[in-house]
Structure 1
Amino acid sequence: MQDLEIYIRDLAEGAVSGWLESHLDNLRLDDSQVSSVLKGDATFEGQRLKISLYPGAFGKRFTCLVIEGENLPWNTDLECARSAWRAMDTEIRCSPGDWKEGEPVEDEKWWRLDHRGEQQVVWN
């Protein structure tokens, strides 16, 4: 199982489903209000995907989006973040790649995509 994980700043109602509709089939995700954890699903190339939204990540302004499945529409978190940024026009962040759950993140750089372009930054 693979996963993609991005962080969306100031998520607008319906923004995730509006974006994913053009990339996935059979999308079932009601993100008209994201005040608590939301779960949904979809298919991509005939394979089922699990979709989860976790509001309140990193200081409350970000919502974490996780897409899990055997076959995903993007190869990396950064590719996913680029697509999300083009569709939502709000700041998107993602890990640069090899971080694993449980590893320290004190000085880790994250990709930040916004109107200034793509930059690696410390989260704070």
Structure 2
Amino acid sequence: MQDLEIYIRDLEPEAVSGWLKGQLDQLTLDDSDVSHVVKGIAYYRGERLRITLYPGAFGKRFTCLLLEGEVLPWNSDLDCARSAWRSMDTEIRCSPGDWKEGDPVEEEKWWRLDDRGEQKVVWN
């Protein structure tokens, strides 16, 4: 099982389903209320994906989007974040991909995508 994880700032209702509708097949995701955990499913290249939204991540302004499946539409969290940013036009963050469970997080850098471009930043 693979996963992609991005963080969306100030997520608007139905923004994720609006974006994923053009990327995945048979999308079932009711994100009309994003104030609580939302779960859904979709298919990509015939393989089932699980979709979960976790609100209140990192100081309450971000919602974590987790996509899990055997085959995913993007090769990395950053590719996924780029696609989401183009569709939603709100700040998106993701891990740079080199952090591993157990590594120190004091100066952990994250990708931040917004109208200023793509930058690695310390999340604060």
TM-score (norm 1): 0.97
Give ranges in structure 1 of 5+ residues lacking alignment.
none
Amino acid at match of 2:56: G
Amino acid at match of 1:42: A
Matched-pair identity in % = 77
Amino acid at match of 1:11: L
Question: Alpha-carbon deviation of 1:110?
Answer: 0.2
1:86 aligns with 2:86: yes
TM-score (norm 2): 0.97
Note the aligned Cα RMSD (angstroms).
0.8
Query: Separation in 2 of the partners of 1:39 and 1:85?
Result: 21
Amino acid at match of 1:87: S
Question: Alpha-carbon deviation of 1:67?
Answer: 0.1
Q: Which moved more, 1:60-69 or 1:97-106?
A: 97-106
**Secondary structure, counterpart of 1:3 in structure 2:** strand
Question: Alpha-carbon deviation of 1:35?
Answer: 1.2
**Secondary structure, counterpart of 2:110 in structure 1:** strand
- Give a deviation string over 1:35-83, Cα, whole Å, max 9, x none: 1111100000000000000000000000000000000000000000000
1:43 aligns with 2:40: no
